[in-house]
Structure 1
């Protein structure tokens, strides 16, 4: 009998614990509740931008790795070893333990997740604050822009180019639902990812204003759309889209260094259509030449030829050389690095003009 009476209090205690432990967390707010407030939605959107342009993503690593993979850096100066993360990238031999690569992937998908949370809150009418109704569609368009750019820039690092076998080559997982969705997504094909990116950018460009401060504008979305079409080898649409931007009349600076000398000005200058806007003492991971690896000396002596031409070729003036060649592009400790500029748009327009089905040599 004593055993029976001993068990009964234990059972009562076990059941009563449920009511004690089953309480709402005080330090966490469910997504739906958090995003019912307009200021919280905009804060989430800003945090999506923050991840997009962080040092781990567009603020530094995507462009650094692009240079590294293009053989523009003297690989002899990059430390190679089983645990050297930069060397793994240079040798195209990265693994899941590479924390720098993981940083790129994680920053991109955090940006995507936050953009999706904003889109979800607006599409499901979760925002109870009616005073911001006029801003909701613009916020959604900005979130679509962030989501598209993050997917596309990941593709350029983690997938084959579109010119390979886009319908069968695997790209990256496409995430277009709020992170609360219980999904374990497989990698989509290259074609599927490009189609989603184009859909998002097209929708964003149709809503975003011509000017939007240091956030995404209609023309920033169009610029990325031109970049995507060009990478997709869709030269007709790349030509048309780039032409629209050129017709708008954005300036093309006479000095190629101007976009990289913004002196902390958050307003884009020198034909910059979208840029990283850092706060505090951050400068997007870019540093003067004394901190950089030198450019690779190509076998055909291209860099040497440029350098020897001196003032007769402006390209030579943006390098300095002792026994190596260093780019002076980032030599001003730039605070707000440009992401996409009019110079790229003009190049896309010109190259697409001669590559499209009906070449236009006049462009």
Structure 2
């Protein structure tokens, strides 16, 4: 079924500040000239990755907002360690005029890749362009379209595992700036995400890598498979989640970081062979890159210092667990810690940092959770998979694992990578924040179910599209 894209301008809450700005995405590559040749299409696909680095998305608002909402992060109360950013996500003070701006950025990427998909097949055979070359860029577009819709439906809708018949987001297959589509049901959105990813997997060559500074910053077949594992996990489709995690785990191009490596990998410009499957490359030349508002400066006590780590997260790590060493204390304030997952790459001032979206340890934890829920994988158990991660972090091995053990290990392993808020939601857990420094005590803890697990859609989007229905509670 075809849908059309509606106007996507409006009020965007930039996670880096409290100002509500009308901001139009800057990427302007979808012209007839650009799309008239395969080279133009190829460049258009490369450009479509750029908005993922915006402060609203992975650079790092989407990630840090989730950490602050979920209790992994907190805003310092000391004036010398905060600039006032990130108050709204931390206190969950969302409303229709103050919400995430992801809607506009994600649908802009969707629009860009849809334009490429509509023009790609006509380039086969022109100037020697092969079907596989076209298939590769189509697969990238499908990956980006799926990822964009996945992040949208996770943010603006209730979880699939709670109510897949509830309102999700419009799934856009065809771009038309005058369109006004209604919201699809959550289940429909997830089904379309899966179809896009399965089609991408079938189209892309096994060894395809887009040329560029960082090959991990573009879609590859393992990235497609890893995202499928995550999507299936969010759907509670346990066997599929395990099977796709296994495809990535068995890929010899990836290996778990050792305890020694774990502390050294976070500031790399381009990852060495290891866990990174897909990431966002920090680049000052990308006009979308957060730069001053980027993750390195936001988590640096000498920078803007708006996102610290909660004490209850830091206290989860036992002595000897290298993950606990990735938190930096400050001498003048006891019990105030900062994540070291964004130390900067030493390339600019303020420094730039890559943001990892998918890595190998998540695949082990996905598979472990799936096995606990009944999936079967020859030659491994949930205990094996959890201990594979734990052993490489220097923590005490488990003798048996439960669903709750895996939830806690995910929190420890994937802290400050944007997972915990969504893990609470998809598993139907209420959230209790024990180290909370906010002033809105009504939003300190969030039960499940609750309307606050879905963020409001911006009033500007509702205003331009009468077919959109606002989420309950806003």
- Normalised by the length of structure 1, the TM-score is 0.78
Distance in structure 2 (CA, Å) of the matches to 1:165 and 1:157: 14
Q: Alignment length, in residue pairs?
A: 319
Give matches, 1:295-314, under 5 Å: 295-298=309-312, 303-304=314-315, 306=317, 309-310=318-319, 312-314=320-322
Give matches, 1:6-17, under 5 Å: none
Distance in structure 2 (CA, Å) of the matches to 1:268 and 1:129: 37
1:335 equivalent in structure 2: 353
Distance in structure 1 (CA, Å) of the matches to 2:316 and 2:173: 48
Distance in structure 1 (CA, Å) of the matches to 2:300 and 2:34: 45
**Of the two, which has the highest radius of gyration?**
1
Q: Deviations over 1:249-300 (max 9, x none)?
A: 22111132344121x22x56431011112333657621153134222233xx
Runs of 4+ displaced beyond 6 Å: none
Give matches, 1:1-363, under 5 Å: 31-32=31-32, 34-75=34-75, 77=77, 86-98=86-98, 101-102=100-101, 104-123=102-121, 125=122, 129-134=126-131, 135-167=133-165, 169-179=166-176, 182-211=178-207, 212-213=209-210, 214=215, 215-249=218-252, 250-254=254-258, 255-262=261-268, 264-265=269-270, 269-280=273-284, 285-287=294-296, 288-290=299-301, 291-298=305-312, 303-304=314-315, 306=317, 309-310=318-319, 312-321=320-329, 322-332=334-344, 333=351, 335-356=353-374, 360-361=381-382, 363=384
Tell whether the 8 Å contact from 2:232 to 2:240 is kept in structure 1 after alignment: yes
- Normalised by the length of structure 2, the TM-score is 0.61
Shift of 1:131: 3.2
SS in 1 for 2:277: strand
Tell whether the 8 Å contact from 2:74 to 2:308 is kept in structure 1 after alignment: yes
Distance in structure 1 (CA, Å) of the matches to 2:73 and 2:257: 27
Shift of 1:133: 3.4
Classify 1:152/1:101 alpha carbon distance in 2 versus 1 (closer, same or farther; 3 Å): same
Distance in structure 1 (CA, Å) of the matches to 2:189 and 2:182: 12
Distance in structure 2 (CA, Å) of the matches to 1:87 and 1:335: 23
Which blocks of at least 5 consecutive residues in structure 1 are unaligned? 1-27
Tell whether the 8 Å contact from 2:308 to 2:337 is kept in structure 1 after alignment: yes
SS in 1 for 2:223: helix
Distance in structure 2 (CA, Å) of the matches to 1:77 and 1:57: 25
More relative contact order, 1 or 2 (CA 8 Å, 6+ apart)? 2
Shift of 1:108: 0.8
SS in 2 for 1:206: helix
SS in 1 for 2:129: helix
Tell whether the 8 Å contact from 1:172 to 1:188 is kept in structure 2 after alignment: yes
Tell whether the 8 Å contact from 2:136 to 2:204 is kept in structure 1 after alignment: yes
Tell whether the 8 Å contact from 1:283 to 1:336 is kept in structure 2 after alignment: no
Distance in structure 2 (CA, Å) of the matches to 1:78 and 1:235: 45
Q: Deviations over 1:65-88 (max 9, x none)?
A: 111221222256499xxxx87333
Q: Deviations over 1:27-80 (max 9, x none)?
A: x9985554122222122211211123333312312111111221222256499x
Distance in structure 1 (CA, Å) of the matches to 2:85 and 2:191: 32
Tell whether the 8 Å contact from 1:208 to 1:218 is kept in structure 2 after alignment: yes
Distance in structure 2 (CA, Å) of the matches to 1:339 and 1:357: 25
Classify 1:170/1:259 alpha carbon distance in 2 versus 1 (closer, same or farther; 3 Å): farther
Shift of 1:313: 2.6
Distance in structure 2 (CA, Å) of the matches to 1:236 and 1:127: 37
Which blocks of at least 5 consecutive residues in structure 2 are unaligned? 1-27, 345-350, 385-474
Distance in structure 2 (CA, Å) of the matches to 1:257 and 1:136: 40
Tell whether the 8 Å contact from 2:256 to 2:360 is kept in structure 1 after alignment: yes
Tell whether the 8 Å contact from 1:259 to 1:270 is kept in structure 2 after alignment: no
Shift of 1:362: 6.0
Tell whether the 8 Å contact from 1:32 to 1:126 is kept in structure 2 after alignment: no
Shift of 1:190: 0.8
Distance in structure 2 (CA, Å) of the matches to 1:30 and 1:152: 23
